[in-house]
Structure 1
């Protein structure tokens, strides 16, 4: 005789045609659900013999139901973030937290040391931490992992790291950008970005790898140079591109920028100098922010799926909070070709 499986909260949500968070709220008499919905869920639960796991409920109730989110302010001057991608990613995380009935605590730049970051959870201010960007704090993150603080990171995914990271395939993104620019018949290449950041360094490595393979295949005389920026802002990129055009070296005919913001700034500076995109120079950005397709010309960019990223970051952090060991995940990158290249 088969043993009848006990109903789970997921089962009740499906049978009641509501979400799992709604079932959780209804069973807790939360004011966030209507009385009609609460009665409906309770009726379904009673009918199907759903039994509340009191131990699990007590564990949930001992939590703050708040997740701290730390932005990478350190990579931006005067703590001003001008790249929209980070806010698109924050929106994805916020949506995923909302679906789990979790509050979001946005931390200030003051939470920058291992001690202050760890205190966010030990003081019961939050159950765990999501870092949106490594910045230059990798050593701090490694030290934080030794303190058993539940956290996950949006950043470079590397096997040697002692913490869980979610990120795009930065190497492949750079590789795809270079292959596309090569297909346009370009020969003077410029990479724009601060390679002190692991993610951006991987993008450059993939870019150089594709160019190197092409050199071997066609023995082409490809020229590669770098424009390093320690400030991710539009203004810094525009100034650097303006100075480059005025310089003695030949202007590149192919540019891969490590962010869409930098790519747009370079296009603007080149247009001001009388150069045309993509006639004189092809430009590829990274992140595929919403403004990319509305820019003039529409920007070719490497896409990262922020909605999937946000859901994964939250899912893996919840596993870490439960005492489990979530594994890092690398997301696929895709080249979205538009008129700038």
Structure 2
């Protein structure tokens, strides 16, 4: 910067203001400094610049690789959330650091934050890490989680009304006079447990309803399809299925079709998330809609409030039933 200042006949602080976009510099001076910088190939070292400031202007966004076999995350819903977060961060001129490796426990998160790897963390999916996240919430580390919202979690969360979504699915089955219900999903995940509990609440108001639970070892599409196929080989088929996601619902449709069972003729089916392909799948999937259009912005807003020293409250987003062919 000293060389650029000498060549542009300005002070070094003026060069710094120009390169940082300060409004305290006249347009004429700004153009002269930028012209000299371009002519001599000068560019700001952003990493060095971050070290001089209290903030890194970087947010680490963590994906739930643990819930997917071999890290194969393929659910469009995850990437809808990620796109919303990315857009909201770009508006605020924040860098996005995607799932830095090694952050598997509280100590790793603390060390990464103290080393100024990121100003804070957005975790997309609690998975089976709720206990670790609760421990992390006890430390002074900016953290926002997409997932189930609990008053005693100790960390800020943004998520849908999973209990209400499960109840909506059950009410759909009741209205179609279905009696043998199946929930497909791993209820060790708090979000999925709440959906299952909501389904059971809806069943309480109906007569002669039985609910079976089919745990899924991984959220990967192929694992879901294989698990459902194995289940159908050993039992009488259910006449209603509530799948933990729309992609899981697609896997269910395939496994049922292989046994000659078609929705809605032979069974009712409800997915979750309302991803765009669910409307164009055959048959079009009845699903529970989450307000993903605002989720990314809310996650970033809550994190920035924490980074600024506030303690924002968690937010539960409403859910609604989108009725289609299944």
Q: State the TM-score, normalized to the length of structure 1.
A: 0.80
Report matched runs for 1:47-58 at 5 Å: none
Instruction: Judge conservation of contact 1:286–1:301 (CA < 8 Å) in 2.
Output: yes
Match of 2:178? 186
Match of 1:49? none
Instruction: Judge conservation of contact 1:93–1:307 (CA < 8 Å) in 2.
Output: no
Q: State the TM-score, normalized to the length of structure 2.
A: 0.83
Deviation at 1:63, TM superposition (A): 1.2
| Partners of 1:189 and 1:26 in 2: CA distance | 65
| Partners of 1:255 and 1:68 in 2: CA distance | 36
Write the deviation string for residues 182-226 of structure 1: whole angstroms up to 9, x where unpaired: 111211111110000100000000000011122xxxxx2112111
Match of 2:133? 141
Mean CA deviation greater in 197-206 or 106-115: 106-115
SS of the aligned residue for 1:105 comes to strand
SS of the aligned residue for 1:335 comes to strand
**2:229 aligned with 1:272, yes or no?**
no
Instruction: Judge conservation of contact 2:185–2:216 (CA < 8 Å) in 1.
Output: yes
Q: Stretches of 4+ moved more than 6 A in 1?
A: none
SS of the aligned residue for 1:186 comes to coil
C-alpha change, 1:328 and 1:150, in structure 2 (3 Å) is: same
Match of 2:275 among 284, 289, 307: 289
Instruction: Judge conservation of contact 1:88–1:306 (CA < 8 Å) in 2.
Output: yes
Match of 1:233? 220
Aligned residues: 286
Match of 2:86? 94
| Partners of 2:87 and 2:154 in 1: CA distance | 27
Structure 1: tracts of 5 or more residues without a match: 1-24, 40-57, 215-219
Instruction: Judge conservation of contact 2:60–2:100 (CA < 8 Å) in 1.
Output: no
SS of the aligned residue for 1:174 comes to helix
SS of the aligned residue for 2:205 comes to helix
Report matched runs for 1:141-180 at 5 Å: 141-180=133-172
SS of the aligned residue for 1:115 comes to helix
C-alpha RMSD over aligned residues: 2.2
C-alpha change, 1:119 and 1:253, in structure 2 (3 Å) is: same
Deviation at 1:109, TM superposition (A): 4.5
